[in-house]
Amino acid sequence: MRLTFHGAARQVTGSCFGFEVGHHRFLVDCGLFQGARATREANTAPFAFDPATLDFVVLTHAHLDHCGLLPRLAAEGFSGPVFATAATRDITAVLLRDSAYLQGVEQARAQRRGGDYVAAYTMADVDAVLPLIRTVGYDDVFEPAKGVRVCLRDAGHILGSASIELWLDDGVNRRKVVVSGDLGQPGRPIVRDPTPIAAADVLLLESTYGNRDHRPYDDTIDELVETLERALYKRKGMVLVPAFAVGRTQEFLYVLNQLARAGRLHDLQVFVDSPMATEVTQITARHFDVFDAEARRAAREPRKGGVAPNVRFTETVDESKALNRLTGGAIIVAASGMCDGGRIRHHLRQHLPYPRTTVIFIGYQAAGTLGRRIVDGADTVRIAGEEIPVRAEIVTLGGFSAHADRTALLGWFAKFRRPPGKTYLVHGEEHAARALASEIETRFHCEVQVPSDHESVEL
């Protein structure tokens, strides 16, 4: 039995883990690389394996850095099933179509300018791979190939997200492997807390925030209220929220609604300028069965106290452009969360130069992205070929992160009855992974490694 790290090794994006069990080959995730140009070029580099030889794929969740290269996988010969939860299937369809569209736009723009951008796949490739997705329920054990049993557990990261349990038997050896996927932070709205897992011989654990903790959630909500009061009521400026269309947009709207109902905020004018976020919000409402108890209760309760926010979902480009006429007192929530695509770039170009503007970041900003440059304090940023001065107030609310922080990761790890025989830390920048590795080794006295890209290990 062999495991190969085809992505998300010493970096946050590109999750793709290859397994060989006897004569069978399969992947857990097949995600896009995001961030700096050199990183993104990996999306069109040859796969380190033959997609036609794969028996199946298991998806942890629908974020593009976990599912975003599935169309290319199918275009190069993969024809087996892709196993995922029903919510992951529905959201994946939306994200892959949007990804193909944006790549097509970027390629056409590059060609006009004499550039060399090449899309990783087309809309036709997306249409070819979506019928391969087969849905499975949480906690159901199934056997996609002889010697491989699989179970998906709720990872609490976004709607439909899963940790993967694998029982592998090649006729000589047996191993229990767990792939954490992206774990959520306990106590977050809408999604349930991550499900603990009791045993593993080998663990692949995410380490995005392995070196630090988030600000307490209640403190984050207080800071959000203070920020919006300052931005909307005192400065009467615009508020831009670059939000991931999946998860963060829905949670942010949920929080605004709860704050308005409690009377802590008033007269909120909110524009969700992302057709994809609108569609995912509709999908979220359809999967009420996987909400946590608090969200289900809030949805059933009659509204009390304050007035709900006035939320409008813009669809067309003309509606998006019409938001330019707004001069203050409104919140625009737009994708992408890392500002590397989508309508948020248009709004940043329009509003970053003005001190009355406030930009609130509520999600992780990968190295090399526009969002990371803004968060890191750049004086100017380049958007659509133009140098834009950054004079807006920049606020980062880390407590909104969908990823488990260091304490939560250690808490989830501690639920194993005994530490896994070997733990590999993935999906984290190297400094974060190594910090978490040191903490796990010290606290649990077990072997932890931080694998390199394309490293292959015997199980």
> Among the three residues 371, 400, 429, which one is the final residue of a domain in this structure?
400
> Per-residue pLDDT for 304 more than 60?
no
Question: Which residues fall within 8 angstroms of residue 302, CB to CB, at 6 or more apart?
Answer: none
Number of CB atoms found within 10 A of residue 328's CB: 14
CATH of the domain at 379: 3.40.50.10890
**153 and 269 together in one domain:** no
Pairing of strands 269-272, 310-313: parallel
The pLDDT tens digits of the residues spanning 399-432 come to 888 899 999 999 999 999 999 999 999 999 999 9
More confident residue, 276 or 418: 418
The pLDDT tens digits of the residues spanning 353-366 come to 999 999 999 887 87
Strands (E), 329-376: 331-334, 358-361
Sheet holding 358-361, edge to edge: 310-313, 269-272, 331-334, 239-242, 358-361, 393-396
pLDDT, average across residues 97-101: 91
**Residue range of the domain that includes 99:** 2-212+402-458
Bridge partners of residue 380, in order along the sequence = 389
**122 and 263 together in one domain:** no
Count of domains for the chain: 2
134-143, 145-154, 184-193: which has the minimum mean pLDDT? 184-193
**43 and 188 together in one domain:** yes
**177 and 34 together in one domain:** yes
pLDDT at position 296 = 63
Label residue 298 by pLDDT band (50, 70, 90).
low
> Among the three residues 400, 421, 440, which one is the final residue of a domain in this structure?
400
The pLDDT tens digits of the residues spanning 212-237 come to 999 898 999 999 999 999 999 999 99
**28 and 172 together in one domain:** yes
CATH of the domain at 107: 3.60.15.10
pLDDT, average across residues 184-188: 90
Percent residues over pLDDT 90 in the chain:
71
The pLDDT tens digits of the residues spanning 193-213 come to 999 999 999 999 999 999 999
pLDDT at position 34 = 86
More confident residue, 314 or 168: 168
φ/ψ of residue 241, rounded to 5: -125, 100
More confident residue, 256 or 336: 256
> Per-residue pLDDT for 297 more than 80?
no
Label residue 249 by pLDDT band (50, 70, 90).
confident
pLDDT, average across residues 373-380: 94
**100 and 226 together in one domain:** no
pLDDT at position 147 = 97
Q: Which of 135-149, 178-192, 270-284 has the highest mean pLDDT?
A: 135-149
The pLDDT tens digits of the residues spanning 342-356 come to 889 999 999 999 999
Torsion angle in degrees (nearest 10) through CA of 70, 75, 81, 83 = 10
pLDDT at position 282 = 83
**174 and 205 together in one domain:** yes
Quick one: which H or E segment has residue 65? helix 64-67
At 329, list the tokens: 């007192």
**160 and 203 together in one domain:** yes
pLDDT, average across residues 131-159: 97
At 53, list the tokens: 């030889």
2-6, 109-113, 143-147, 277-281: which has the minimum mean pLDDT? 277-281
> Per-residue pLDDT for 293 more than 80?
no
At 221, list the tokens: 């909500």
**411 and 387 together in one domain:** no
Average pLDDT taken over every residue of the chain: 91
pLDDT, average across residues 284-307: 66
Contact present, 446 and 423 (Cβ < 8 Å): yes
pLDDT at position 299 = 56
Q: Which of 398, 409, 404 is nearest to 438 (CA)?
A: 409
Q: What is the pTM of this model?
A: 0.87
At 67, list the tokens: 């599912």
The pLDDT tens digits of the residues spanning 49-79 come to 999 999 999 999 999 999 999 999 999 999 9
The whole-angstrom separation of Cα 171 and Cα 148 is 11
**245 and 205 together in one domain:** no
The pLDDT tens digits of the residues spanning 112-143 come to 888 888 899 999 999 999 999 999 999 999 99
**374 and 430 together in one domain:** no
323-328 contacts at long range (C-beta below 8 A, 24 or more positions apart): 323/271, 323/273, 323/347, 324/350, 326/238, 326/271, 327/238, 328/232, 328/235, 328/236, 328/237, 328/238, 328/356
pLDDT at position 392 = 96
Contact present, 252 and 241 (Cβ < 8 Å): yes
Strands (E), 155-256: 162-169, 174-179, 202-206, 239-242
Contact present, 270 and 333 (Cβ < 8 Å): yes
CA angle at residue 350 from 244 to 366, to 5 degrees? Answer: 35
> Per-residue pLDDT for 305 more than 60?
no
> Among the three residues 384, 400, 416, which one is the final residue of a domain in this structure?
400
**134 and 7 together in one domain:** yes
